[in-house]
Chain A
Amino acid sequence: MTVPTQTSPQPGPATANDVVLTVDRLNVMYQVDNPVHAVKDVSLTLRRGEILGLAGESGCGKTTLAYAINRLHKPPAEVTSGSITFHDRGGRDIDLLALENEELRAFRWSKLSMVFQGAMNALNPVISIRAQLEDVLTTHEPKMSKQQRRERCAEVLRLVGVDPARMNSFPHEFSGGMRQRVMIAMALLLDPQVIIMDEPTTALDVVVQRGILQEILRLRDELGYAVIFITHDLPLLLELSDRIAVMLKGEVVEYATAEQIYRLPAHPYTRRLLDSFPSLTGDRGAFLRTGESSARDHATEPDPTKGKRP
């Protein structure tokens, strides 16, 4: 299955100014008794304001990649080779792997923030939302006055549709969807250029999920940050993102625009993934009810009604 990856699908011309993050042949290993090569030779570019989807089944290395980009990986995880470069707004290039403690700390969240897989648990249960929001500001913007801080927190909460009046509440007093919104608000606090979202809506109800996704899109349009959106729900990515990278066992096996992936999936694995999501309104036919093998058969059959296959 070692399909050589296109290092740069380049659906459009990418000027140096345009790109905000470059990942080049990144390798991450878990140095355990039987070392796990969790990320293999992954190369990606992220453009300003772009939503980059990262799809793949559980355990393929999506989270590992995301953590490596933010240098959040801990031993036994280890970046064995490759580079990650952040192209700052001013044009300065930052080699993320070379950042030292204090620089790294200052870099985090101010330029690149994250919304985590289990956002339900990403908030400290015993201190108030406000304290957790202000923590970021006191650390990164020590010069801000108390008043300014409070205003900024209220502002981001308003952005994601949470009533700032509830700022003094504790995480358990919010529903899952609201907590996730608070996390997004927190990610926006310092006006970052990149937000990595690791399965931010997987645990949520479809209706709630939809609401949050709309929020992300709207804010992206307003604020212009780039997003790396990680999920295994390919249809969701197809609807949401500009480009998609499909990962399989640590490798990016397909990297193209959403349109391309939907219409012309090149890799068999991508096709299989697409098939795993029956269309809601599409033809029901004999799709599932004729037995197990039929799903695979169906996968190779052209479906004239949808026209999604060559």
Chain B
Amino acid sequence: MRYYARKIGFYLVALWAALTLNFLIPRLMPGNPVDILMAKLQQRGGVVDPEARRSYELLLGANTDEPLLSQYFSYLGNMARGDLGVSVSAFPAPVSDVIWQSLPWTIVLVGIATLISFVLGVVLGALVGWRRGTWLDSLVPATTVLSAVPYFWLALILAAIFASALRWFPLLGGYDVSLMPGWNWEFISSAVYYGTLPALTIVISSVGGWLLGMRNMMVSTSSDDYILTAQAKGLREGRIMTRYAARNAVLPSVAGFAISLGFVVSGSIVTEQVFSYPGIGSKLLQAVQNNDYALMQGIFLVITVAVLGANMIVDLLYGVIDPRTRVGN
């Protein structure tokens, strides 16, 4: 129990630290969020009237006369109430709407791709590690080369080949825009079809890391005594590989998976940029480019909560898959 109390304590402190950073960083950035709105107004012609500017500042609460500390406390209060404020770049939409609209896309696309790449990497890594010395070993350098390639570069080239040239996959977007999003087969199959290429690029570029980690752990584990015992017991190869070697070797990868799950959100920025995918990553970019403090803070909150949540789940999961961490008895 104390273990869990400590864990929860850690998560709370981490959350607080992250929230504070979220608060500080945007405020340290140059420029003023209202400028972006003014620029948009200006684009429609005319000189922006100082009155109009002032009224927008009021509307967005962007007047910086308030002392930082009281801003901080009202910020914490708002966060606690789940009030993330109003997005400047999508004015007057509340930040929560903006995030809510784009988050599912990212979670589904990048989440599933990360999961696939994890499973694939772990399975291949287990195989390669178990049968080291065979031709399978050549998979390792091959996949590490793929993970050393800049992701967007790879993605652009794959998109050029498979979408532009061969036309196997659609080039851009998250679904066939002539369909209305909803839980119907047509839409879902279109979303899957549109998501395939982006997901593929994520899998290709990240599978190598999992593979290598799993392979190395597998090699280490293979020389553990219990593997030898299992062999002496006359167990079948496959059983030894899965239940004895892989079962133990996978533990560090699972911990790594938790962390990487948390980065699903932030890692998706580039993907979404390349494929015009309607996710949270592009919103973050938009927020940064538009000095959209509130949106930035909201997305940071989401990311932090996601990372913390993923870690917490794995902490709990770890107790199940690794009995040694279980407390009690």
Contacts and interface: CB of A to CB of B under 8 A. Distances in A.
Interface of A: 70, 72, 104-110, 113-114, 116-119, 121-128, 135-136, 139-140, 169-170, 172-173, 183, 186
A124 B232 contact: no
Contacts of B234: 104-110, 136, 139-140
B226 A114 contact: no
A113 B230 CA distance: 11
B228 A122 contact: yes
Most buried by A among B235, B247, B329: B235
Most buried by B among A122, A125, A126, A186: A126
Which 9 pairs across A and B sit closest by C-beta, in order of nearness? A108-B234, A121-B225, A170-B323, A122-B229, A124-B226, A109-B234, A122-B225, A105-B234, A114-B232
B232 A108 contact: yes
21 contacts: A72-B228, A104-B234, A105-B234, A105-B236, A109-B234, A114-B229, A114-B232, A116-B225, A116-B232, A118-B225, A121-B226, A126-B323, A126-B324, A127-B243, A135-B230, A135-B239, A135-B243, A139-B234, A139-B239, A140-B234, A186-B233
Contacts of B247: 124, 126-127
Interface residues of B, number: 23
B228 A139 contact: no
Most buried by B among A107, A109, A169: A109
B243 A122 contact: no
B325 to A, nearest CB: 10
Nearest to B251: A126
Most buried by B among A72, A119, A135, A140: A135
Contacts of B228: 72, 116, 122
Interface string B201-217: 00000000000000000
Contact of B322 (A72, A106, A114, A126): A126
B226 A123 contact: yes
A110 B233 CA distance: 8
A223 to B, nearest CB: 18
A189 B75 CA distance: 66
Contacts of A124: 226, 230, 243-244, 247-248
A203 B247 CA distance: 27
Interface of B: 224-226, 228-236, 239, 243-244, 247-248, 251, 321-324, 329
B238 to A, nearest CB: 11
Contacts of B324: 125-126, 170, 172
Given A105-B234, A113-B232, A139-B233, A125 B226 contact: yes
Given A109-B234, A114-B232, A139-B239, A125 B225 contact: no
A70 B231 CA distance: 10
Contacts of A121: 224-226
Nearest to B226: A124
A140 B228 CA distance: 17
B218 to A, nearest CB: 14
Contacts of A128: 323
Contacts of B230: 124, 135
A253 B228 CA distance: 29
Most buried by A among B234, B251, B323: B234
A125 B329 contact: no
B204 to A, nearest CB: 31
Given A114-B232, A172-B323, 17 more contacts: A105-B235, A108-B232, A108-B233, A109-B234, A113-B233, A116-B229, A118-B225, A121-B226, A122-B226, A124-B230, A124-B243, A126-B247, A135-B235, A135-B239, A139-B239, A170-B324, A186-B233
A117 B228 CA distance: 11
A109 B321 contact: no
A107 B225 CA distance: 20
B321 A126 contact: yes
A117 B322 CA distance: 24
Contacts of B232: 70, 72, 108-109, 113-114, 116
Nearest to A125: B324
Contacts of A140: 234
